[in-house]
Amino acid sequence: MARRRKAVQRPTKTAARRHSNPMRVAKAKPTQRPTERASTPTPLTHIDQRGEARMVDVTEKGATERIAVAEGRVLMRKETLDVVLEGNAMKGDVLGAARLAGIMAAKRTHGLIPLCHPLPLTKVEIDINPEHSLPGFLVQSTVKVTAKTGVEMEALTAVSIACLTIYDMVKAVERGIRIEGIRLLHKSGGKSGEWNAGN
């Protein structure tokens, strides 16, 4: 009696293609997500194509009302805060001097930050409020202008110098005072429009 031959199962066309071309399988599963391909870094506007520092050309921009708000914190001991609030600091009116210093600093920002444009500021306001929870002071600046470029640097410079002035006025009482959290809170105007911290 003749033996039966076992049927040999031939691979399907799909399986043959899969085994004959392993690179086709690898291409079918991309490892890079679409969002990763789409993201591109924002260029530094103060650096030209040769990598050199430059002042941004704002000739073609339109003049709009621009506002920037910045803040900073001056942290100190509770006893030092009480001395300032009672008006017993050795150098006199601590907060009044800090406000004036912040206003003057905003107006002179273009002379301190190399690539800033000189701007005709229309408003500089410095608010200094005691915060017993710190303890210390919360310093906030608001700067306004109608111009072709923004005033973020003016607001940040105003806050920085106001905080430093508080330190200078009170360092005889406490040299370990800390200045922290200087940041931009808000800006509006210009092509980029409104921006708020936390967005």
Number of structural domains the chain divides into: 1
Task: Going residue by residue through the chain, which has 199 residues, state the pLDDT in tens, using 9 for 90 and above.
Answer: 455 555 555 555 544 454 445 444 444 444 444 444 445 666 766 666 666 666 777 777 789 999 999 999 999 999 999 999 999 888 889 999 999 999 999 999 999 999 999 999 999 999 999 999 999 999 999 999 999 999 999 999 999 999 999 999 999 999 999 999 999 999 999 888 999 998 6
Torsion of CA 9, 15, 17, 20, to 10 degrees: -80
8-state DSSP, 186 = E
Per annotation, catalytic residue among 57, 93, 127, 168: 168
The dihedrals phi and psi of 127, each to the nearest 5 degrees, come to: -110, 130
Any domain includes 185: yes
37 CB contacts (<8 Å, ≥6 apart)?
Answer: none
The predicted structure's pLDDT at residue 4:
54
Any domain includes 52: no
Any domain includes 92: yes
Residue 186 is part of which domain span? 64-196
Any domain includes 176: yes
The predicted structure's pLDDT at residue 106:
98
Three-class DSSP category at 111: helix
Any domain includes 54: no
Determine whether 93 is an active site residue.
no
Contact status, residue 97 vs residue 152, Cβ threshold 8 Å: no
CATH number for the domain including 149? 3.30.70.640
Any domain includes 101: yes
Any domain includes 24: no
The predicted structure's pLDDT at residue 9:
56
Any domain includes 141: yes
Cα separation, 166 vs 168, whole angstroms: 5
Q: What value does the mean pLDDT of the chain take?
A: 83
Cα separation, 186 vs 192, whole angstroms: 12
The predicted structure's pLDDT at residue 44:
65
Cα separation, 162 vs 124, whole angstroms: 12
107 CB contacts (<8 Å, ≥6 apart)?
Answer: 121, 124, 154
